[in-house]
Structure 1
Amino acid sequence: MARIAGVNIPTNKRVVIGLTYIFGIGSAKAEQICQQLSIPAERRVNELSDDDVLKIRELIDREFRVEGDLRRELAMNIKRLMDLGCYRGLRHRRGLPVRGQRTHTNARTRKGKAVAIAGKKKVTR
């Protein structure tokens, strides 16, 4: 099992697919890494030599921001918005959608499970 950027890469998958298990590396960056290191697209992770794994690890450390550093940067960006008190920061603080979505209905992912209001009666016609 190859361990790159603190993540165990699944051994039976292709290298391009396995690299996407690292937070911050998607399919496009994974293909770019394989092209730069001239690793064939059909090669599996368990077929990589220790030298290949070392080259991948060094390339990722040198050129990409991944895992902990990237998560920390994203958290700091959100914290900065909240400290500024701007609109986006207030939406983050209240746990509401940030990018202009409606909240009258939907937005359950951000708002959580719907809570019934006690004493509210349904309108009858």
Structure 2
Amino acid sequence: MPRILGVDIPGNKKLPFALRYIYGIGPTRADQVVAESGLDADMRAHELSEEQLNSLASIVADKQFIVEGDLRREVAGNIKRLQAIRSNRGIRHQRGLPVRGQRTSTNARTRKGGPKTVGVVRKK
């Protein structure tokens, strides 16, 4: 399993798809990195040499993409800032509710967690 920027990428996948396993690199950026490296997009990740892996990592560094730990810290910092200023978005993050205006009377189970049964408790 090859490692790029401290992340194990799956060796059996084609390059543009394998690069997406790096947090902060999506479809468009993965295609850009592969095109700039001059490697074949149909090449599998396990076929890469150390030299080619280093060139891919250097391209990501040269483009100054914020990836992995730095990006995770930035996103967490943004959420903490919203919570500190008590904005509506920050409060919804704290309560574990949908942040972007989705309905919550039904659905929203991904954010709220599993269904919670509310009913009458009967005496025995």
Q: Give me the whole-angstrom Cα distance separating, in 1, the residues matched to 2:78 and 2:119.
A: 38
Q: Give me the whole-angstrom Cα distance separating, in 2, the residues matched to 1:107 and 1:47.
A: 42
SS in 2 for 1:103: coil
User: Structure 2 matches for 1:1-125, cutoff 5 A?
Assistant: 1-62=1-62, 63-119=64-120
> 1:12 offset after TM fit, Å?
2.2
Could you state the TM-score of these two structures normalised by the residue count of structure 2? Answer: 0.88
> 1:99 offset after TM fit, Å?
0.7
Q: Give me the whole-angstrom Cα distance separating, in 1, the residues matched to 2:99 and 2:11.
A: 38
Amino acid in the other structure paired with 1:19: L
Q: Give me the whole-angstrom Cα distance separating, in 1, the residues matched to 2:23 and 2:89.
A: 24
> 1:79 offset after TM fit, Å?
0.7
> 1:47 offset after TM fit, Å?
2.1
> 1:15 offset after TM fit, Å?
1.2
Instruction: Count residues with an aligned counterpart.
Output: 120
SS in 1 for 2:106: coil
Q: CA RMSD in A?
A: 1.5
Q: Percent of aligned pairs with the same residue?
A: 49
> 1:118 offset after TM fit, Å?
4.5
Could you state the TM-score of these two structures normalised by the residue count of structure 1? Answer: 0.87
Query: Which deviates the most, 28-37 or 107-116?
Result: 107-116
Unaligned runs of 5+ in 1: 121-125
